[in-house]
Amino acid sequence: MARVNEPFEGVIMYRRDYRERDLLVKILTDRRGPLMFFIRGAKRKGFKLASDILPFTYGSYVGILADEGLSYIVSAQETHHLTGIGADLNRNAYATYLLELVDQAFEEGRALGGWYKQVMAALNLINTGRDPQVVVNVLEVQLLNRFGIAPVWDRCVVCGRSDLPLDYSEKMGGMLCLHHFAEDPYRFHLTPKTVAYLRLFATLNLAKVDQVHVDEATKRQLGRTLDKIYDDQLGLRLKSKRFINEMDSWTNRLLTARKNPGTDDEKKPAGS
Ligand SMILES: [Zn+2]
């Protein structure tokens, strides 16, 4: 294939050391999905593209894009930093997980279509301080289709009704209505609010979202529901997701300790 310079939009997903002075940088590109770029001399002092390839940077680049093997950046036209993500541990953790998930969901060399805008909208919402868990939950729901699991969120998988209370069933691959709860004794027992959010998330265009407010109890159930689906139905266990779960458990321990000074240890159940 001819090696021609192509303009593209991209966001830096992660970087990896390569030889003494060089870097491998994974970039999510609009035109060819996630691609690995070889950046020669990237660790040299005064490298001209240094700020264009920092983590959580996005913008317009020109490069040689290879569907297989390594791609190259020729120049950066205009790039921006998502500084609100870089500076905050919690946002950083969720954005890192989101990009790892996207990396798993898309093949190298294929155009992303509308997904690129959706991922950028998610990163911008996280960057500006919207609840990162909820933003990521939206993409988790939508990316299930990319992973070959396409749960039916908006109606009962047995009878098609959408006007009755619904609950999620892994076994049936989607929602069951009140009349068909008996089809799966292991249905999730979700609250109506959680069901409503899952239905909403399945088709939500994040570019049109401004505010994000989900109450804590519903957020917990949404998080647990999606973790379970990703674990059970997909078997996907990403390092960045494990980090988030550990971070949540430190935070909870810290909050408990603050609320009940001195009683934290006694309150732990035996064997934990
Ligand atoms: Zn039904």
Q: Which of 36, 52, 81 is the last residue of a domain?
A: 81
Residue 189 structure tokens: 């027992």
Residues 64 and 101 in one domain: no
The per-residue pLDDT for 266 is 45
Examine the domain organization and report whether 219 and 107 are in the same domain.
yes
Q: Is residue 192 part of a domain?
A: yes
* The pLDDT of residue 10: 97
How many Å lie between the centroid of ligand 1 and the Cα of residue 178?
7
Domain final residue pick, 49, 81, 113:
81
Whether 19 contacts 44, CB under 8 Å: no
**100 and 228, same domain (yes or no):** yes
State both tokens at 237: 């266990």
d(C-alpha 242, C-alpha 92), whole Å: 14
Q: Tokens for 179?
A: 């009349």
Kindly give the distance from the C-alpha atom of residue 161 to the centroid of ligand 1, in angstroms, as a whole number.
Answer: 6
Residue 89 Cα to ligand 1 middle (Å)? 43
Q: What is the pLDDT along the chain (272 residues), one digit of tens a residue?
A: 557 899 999 999 999 999 889 999 999 999 999 999 999 999 999 999 999 999 999 999 999 999 888 999 999 999 999 999 988 999 999 999 999 999 999 999 888 889 999 999 999 999 999 999 999 999 999 999 999 999 999 999 999 999 999 999 999 999 999 999 999 999 999 999 999 999 999 999 999 998 889 999 999 999 999 999 999 998 888 999 999 988 888 877 887 887 776 554 444 444 44
Residues 133 and 54 both lie in one domain: no
- Same domain for 29 and 98, yes or no, is no
DSSP string, 13-64: EEEEEETTTEEEEEEEETTTEEEEEEETTTTSTT-TTGGGGSTTEEEEEEEE
> Of 81, 111, 143, which one is at a domain's C-terminal end?
81
What local confidence, expressed as pLDDT, does residue 1 receive? 53
Report the separation in Å between the CA atom of 175 and the middle of ligand 1, taken as the mean of its atom positions.
8
Which CATH number fits the domain that encloses residue 67? 2.40.50.140
Find the domain containing 24 and state its range.
6-81
Let me know if residue 270 belongs to a domain: no
Q: Quick one: 72 and 96 in the same domain?
A: no
- Model pLDDT for residues 190-216, shown as the tens digit of each residue: 999 999 999 999 999 999 998 889 999
Q: Tell me, yes or no, whether 193 lies in a domain.
A: yes
Q: Is residue 211 part of a domain?
A: yes
Domain annotation covers residue 257: no
How confident is the model over 13-46, as pLDDT tens digits?
999 999 889 999 999 999 999 999 999 999 999 9
Burial class (CB in 10 A: 0-12, 13-18, 19+), 72: middle
Query: How far, in Å, from the CA of 165 to the mean position of ligand 1?
Result: 10
CATH number of the domain encompassing residue 227 = 1.20.1440.120
Please name which of 188, 193, 153, 195 lies closest in space to residue 174, comparing C-alpha atoms: 153
Q: Are residues 146 and 66 in the same domain?
A: no
Tell me, yes or no, whether 95 and 76 share the same domain.
Answer: no
What is the rounded distance in angstroms from the CA atom of residue 78 to the CA atom of residue 249? 39
**Span from the CA of 143 to the centroid of ligand 1 (angstroms):** 25
Q: Are residues 76 and 210 in the same domain?
A: no
Give the H or E element holding residue 6. strand 6-18
Is 261 among the domain residues? no
Cα–Cα distances (Å) from 62 to 5, 9, 10, 31, 53, in that order, read 6, 9, 10, 12, 13
51 and 175 within one domain: no
* Residues whose CB is less than 8 angstroms from the CB of residue 235 and which lie 6 or more positions away in sequence, other chains included: none
Residues 115, 211, single domain; the answer is yes
259 located within any domain? no
User: Between 132-143 and 89-105, two packed helices, what is the crossing angle to 10 degrees?
Assistant: 10
**Model confidence, pTM:** 0.90
Q: Identify whether 237 is part of a domain.
A: yes
Ligand 1 centroid, distance to 200 Cα (angstroms): 19
The reported pLDDT for the residue numbered 4 is 87
How many domains does one find in the chain? Answer: 2
Residue 170: its pLDDT value, please? 96
Co-location of 117 and 177 in the same domain: yes
Distance CA 202, CA 144 (A): 10
Q: What is the DSSP letter of 252?
A: H
| Residue 259, Cβ density class (10 Å: 0-12 exposed, 13-18 middle, ≥19 buried) | exposed
The token pair that represents 82 in the structure block: 């998502």
| Residues by chain with Cβ below 5 Å of ion ligand 1 | 156, 158-159, 177, 179-180
Residue 151: the pLDDT is 96
Whole-number Å distance, alpha carbon 229 to ligand 1 midpoint, is: 21
DSSP string, 53-100: GSTTEEEEEEEE--SSS-BEEEEEEEEEE-HHHHT-HHHHHHHHHHHH
